[in-house]
Chain A
Amino acid sequence: MAGEVPNLEASKLTALVVDDNFVNQSVHHKLLDRLGIKNDVVSNGQEAVDVHCSGRNYDLILMDMDMPIMNGIQATRRLREMGIESKIAGVTTRAEEEEVKEFMEAGLNDFQEKPLTISKLVSILHNLELYVQT
């Protein structure tokens, strides 16, 4: 792991993990926890939409691509249609140019290839200007 791990608890950032894989849910939740980012976890795009319909909002959404019921591309499009302006980072093992392009065009702000690590997560936060080192 590179560098010092920032503690962003003071920033009160919140995040939503959207992934159908239990292992990834656990890892991504813990990664965010480690950075002091309070986070919720849902299992597919439909649940991500539903949680926003219930009035919840997040600074960052980590969106998997392949999920049952509603995939990441569909969910990202739907959230943007709903006017959700949260930063959405696509996190997936699929890295073919065409697939990434389609995912980005759905409304992502950033993209990272799995597996997610602390340094990749910090990179997402930097790219999305959610973390600026002082």
Chain B
Amino acid sequence: MQRQVALIKQSLFDQGYLDEQFMELEELQDDVNPNFVEEVATLYFKDSARLINSIDQALERGSFDFNRLDNYMHQFKGSSSSIGASKVKTECTMFREYCRVGNAEGCLMTFQQVKKEHATLRKKLEHYFQLARQAGPKETARRSK
């Protein structure tokens, strides 16, 4: 089971969904917070869902306030970067580029990609954390304090 968890985690890195920042977070897990990464991931997905909703509503209104859109995406990119969500971060960067040049069509197109990558990562991480919990403390708590 633990080997399966390790393989799944490795594939998330190999396929570019996660970067080294995720490993930094794992290093922070200890006996006091054995599920720290999962807790941060939960926070991230809750916060990013709110941002996605805000951007969706702004785009649906049809009035492209690129400044406001860029601010939302700046926050989204920041969170994604902090958790190591590499592909999501890349799409956020693309979106911000389109905001910078005032390209509405580009924003709409890229936002679909942002949502797609976000949903994919969410599904994969939920699966990973579920297996990690089943595998037991060895995979979740990395160190004793």
Chain A residues with CB under 8 Å of chain B are 1, 21-24, 26-27, 30-31, 34, 66, 93, 114-118
Q: Which residue of A lies closest to B77 (CB)?
A: A93
B40/A23 in contact, CB under 8 A: yes
Chain A positions within 8 Å of B27 at CB level: 1, 118
Chain A positions within 8 Å of B40 at CB level: 23, 26-27
A22/B47 in contact, CB under 8 A: yes
A22-B47, A23-B44, A93-B81 given; A30·B36 CB < 8 A: yes
Main secondary structure of the interface of B (DSSP, over half): helix
Q: How extensive is the interface on chain B, given as a class?
A: 20 to 34
Contact of B47 among A21, A30, A116, A118 (CB under 8 A): A21
Chain B positions within 8 Å of A30 at CB level: 28, 33, 36
Question: How near does chain A come to B74, taking the closest CB pair, in angstroms?
Answer: 7
Contact of A66 among B28, B30, B74, B81 (CB under 8 A): B74
Contact of B24 among A24, A26, A93, A118 (CB under 8 A): A118
Contact of B82 among A24, A34, A66 (CB under 8 A): A24
A115/B47 in contact, CB under 8 A: no
11 residue pairs of the A-B complex, CB under 8 angstroms, read A1-B27, A21-B82, A30-B33, A31-B28, A34-B30, A66-B74, A93-B74, A114-B78, A114-B82, A115-B21, A115-B81
